[in-house]
Amino acid sequence: MSKLRRQQGSNTNSSVEPKKLSEMKDKTGNLYESIAIIAKRSNQISIAVKEELHSKLEEFASHTDSLEEIHENKEQIEISRAYERMPNAALLATAEFFEDKIYHRKNDQDDLFS
């Protein structure tokens, strides 16, 4: 099992829970900035999980065109199901944000346009 799946899938609930917007705003001082941080982290998680899944499923890829050689592989199905059961990337990113596991900083260029 990958480090990413162990780290993120272990303690994160896979159902959506309401969050207080005031708490989200308090983390950065701006609600929209908090949402942008969560969205960027969610994209990072999605890309990492997708690459990991494709690399694992590549082992099962058949490079022949014969239909007779195509068959169901139980290991491949189990790997796919395990990834389907993982919580959504947005839920994982939100949990990381509220647990202060995401490093973020303000860009100094924002002050130039004020």
Residue 9 lies in a domain: no
Asked whether residue 99 carries a pLDDT value surpassing 50, the answer given is yes
Residue 5 lies in a domain: no
Asked whether residue 27 carries a pLDDT value surpassing 80, the answer given is yes
Helix and strand totals (H; E) in the chain: 5, 0
Residue 12 lies in a domain: no
The CA distance from 68 to 19, in Å, is 52
> Looking at the 3D structure of the chain, how many domains does it have?
1
Residue 36 lies in a domain: yes
Which residue segment(s) compose the domain that 35 sits in? 20-62+71-102
Residue 27 lies in a domain: yes
Residue 98 lies in a domain: yes
Residue 109 lies in a domain: no
> pLDDT band for position 114 (50/70/90)?
very low
> pLDDT band for position 74 (50/70/90)?
confident
Q: Which amino acid is at 62?
A: S
Asked whether residue 16 carries a pLDDT value surpassing 90, the answer given is no
More confident residue, 13 or 47: 47
Spatial contact of 74 and 68, defined as CB atoms under 8 Å apart? no
Q: Report which DSSP code applies to 11.
A: S
More confident residue, 6 or 21: 21
